Amino acid sequence: MFREDIDSILARDPAANSRFMVLLCYPGLHAVWMQRITSRFWRANLRLIARFLSQVARLLTGIEIHPGATIGRRMFIDHGAGVVIGETAIVGDDVTLYQGVTLGGTGHERGKRHPTLRDGVFVGSNAQILGNICIGENSRVGAGSVVLRDVPPNSTVVGVPAHIVYQNGERVLITDPNQVKDPLSGVIVALAEEVKRLRLRVDVLDGQLELATRDLDEVRSFTVEDEERDQYHSEQAAAGFVSMGEGI
């Protein structure tokens, strides 16, 4: 298991030049190995020792992994400074975390209160994944994102709060403003409704304008006919012609 941890870092980090370098210079590797030790103390109900050793590991690596967390195989914490993984977090195999990532809770509730990351998840730097939610297999969380809802497998999420931008390799576009889960989403929905109402009103006014224009064109055509007829009569009278019924 120790060898596969080192080999997985060599495969995923182009800055890793040798196993010896990984062994000596990668605090993420040291934190994961230390957590395996503290986890055994935690499961043996020696929780004070487990927490104390986890704090020593935090002091040495800058990474805090609770002894109660469940960590899968070949997890790679790149750089690692500021990474926090909570007590009930579950991390699958081949997961990659960058610096500043938090797998945290959202309150004082008991039981499962931290995220679950399935196999192959990638989490960018300073991303916050909060609450008892699940990040599906092979999904990616963009740097600086705040994830508060479940993420389907093979998805990419970004933003605060995070929303899906890619799923199964295809771009995902938000067409309904109600899908925007944002502190200002109510304002966005209200603006969208106002735009819709104004658009309907403009369509009605355009229809009325078109009808009025058509009626005006008809009135103008009748006026032109009358003017042409009067001009014709004037020309006939000037030429000395008398129309039928006149002069009798």
Model confidence pLDDT, tens digit, residues 35-72: 999 999 999 999 999 999 999 999 999 999 999 999 99
Residue 66: how many other CB atoms lie within 10 Å: 20
Indicate whether 218 belongs to any domain: yes
Q: Are residues 192 and 143 in the same domain?
A: no
Is 90 contained in some domain?
A: yes
Same domain, 39 and 101: yes
124-177 pLDDT, tens per residue?
A: 999 999 999 999 999 999 999 999 999 999 999 998 888 888 888 888 777 665
158 and 178 both lie in a single domain: no
pLDDT at 247 over 50: no
The reply to whether 42 and 129 lie within a common domain is yes
> Which of 138, 173, 208 marks a domain boundary?
173
Q: Is residue 182 part of a domain?
A: yes
Q: Do both 6 and 114 map to the same domain?
A: yes
CB atoms within 10 A of CB 88: 18
- Strands (DSSP E) contained in 7-101 are 64-65, 70-71, 76-77, 84-85, 90-91, 96-97
Domain that holds residue 98: 2-173
Cα distances from 57 to residues 54, 117, 219, 220, in angstroms, run: 5, 22, 91, 91
Q: Are residues 21 and 122 in the same domain?
A: yes
247 in any annotated domain: no
The answer to whether the CB of 9 falls within 8 A of the CB of 3 is: no
Task: Look at the chain and report how many structural domains it folds into.
Answer: 2
Pair (124, 21) in one structural domain:
yes
